[in-house]
Amino acid sequence: MRIAICDDLKVERDALRKCIDKNQINTQVFEYENGNEFLVHHKINRYDMVFLDVLMPIINGINVAEAIREYDKETPIVFITTSKEFAVKSYRVFAFDYILKPIKEIEIQNCLCRFLALKKNKESISVKVMGIDLKICISNILYLESNLHKIMFHLEDKREIKLIAKLSDYEMLIESFNFYRCHKSYIVNLEHISSIAGEQFIMTNGDKVKISRQYFSDAKKIYFNYMFSDKGNVND
């Protein structure tokens, strides 16, 4: 996750970077002391999230945000400022958040958590079914099932999508989103497991997914670690 901080005061940039680092998210943080310098870099290689000071010399944060929105409608912009007076203007550029200085660690944490939750819900994979390309929202996948050289995506919206493929074709694509291969024929989404009973995962839709004896000890450990953690990446 690439984050840009644009603030003319180094002490403020340092304070914000410290708050970001404390969240233990895999990030690259890029610092800029004026808006023009930031805009040059953002146009070339866009950032996942931008923290903007409002009151800066040369070009203020609101004007920087307006320039961003001319070519980029999606990147979340978070204003960090000492004044409430620009809050209304921030809505005109669809600001993701508006945080007053001095910044508080919990406010940055909440902001990042909201962003990651939204990002996760937007992530998708493409599959080809009978020559037609379909996009499947990753958070909508309950589990994948393999049978006779075909795999079935079981989805939260009750759809089932079948295609000719191997589980391994998709395992690498989704494993970073808290999916776990519990059997040679199944990959489950840990977020959609309601319980574990015997050698089976009970999914949130009531389906029962087999856990291989070979993976059973590891499966229990991963499941309970996930349930009693902050729902972070099981592969970290």
pLDDT band at 151 (very low <50, low <70, confident <90, very high): very high
Interatomic CA distance for residues 62 and 79, integer angstroms: 9
Structure token digits, residue 233: 């990446």
Cβ neighbours of residue 154 closer than 8 Å, sequence gap 6 or more = 141, 142, 143, 144, 145, 160, 203, 205, 207
pLDDT of 155 > 80? The answer is yes
116 — pLDDT class (breaks 50, 70, 90):
confident
Evaluate if residue 83 carries a pLDDT over 90.
no
Structure tokens at 116: 């990651």
- Residue pair 126/133 in contact (Cβ under 8 Å)? The answer is yes
Average pLDDT of the segment spanning 132-157: 93
Task: Provide mean pLDDT across the span 81-94.
Answer: 90
**In the chain, pLDDT over 70 holds for what percent of residues?**
96
One DSSP character per residue, 50-112 reads EEEESS-SSS-HHHHHHHHHTT-S-S-EEEEES-STTHHHHHHTT-SEEEESSP-HHHHHHHH
Is the pTM here over 0.95, yes or no? no
Looking at this protein, which amino acid is placed at residue 224?
F
Residue showing tokens 């309601």: 194
Mean pLDDT computed over 110-121:
84
Can you tell me the mean pLDDT for 175-203? 93
What domains can you pick out in the chain, each with its CATH number? 2-120 (3.40.50.2300), 124-232 (2.40.50.1020)
- Average pLDDT over every residue of 101-117: 92
Is a pLDDT exceeding 80 seen at residue 148? yes
Quick check: 207 pLDDT over 70?
yes
> How far apart, in whole angstroms, are the C-alpha atoms of residue 92 and residue 82?
19
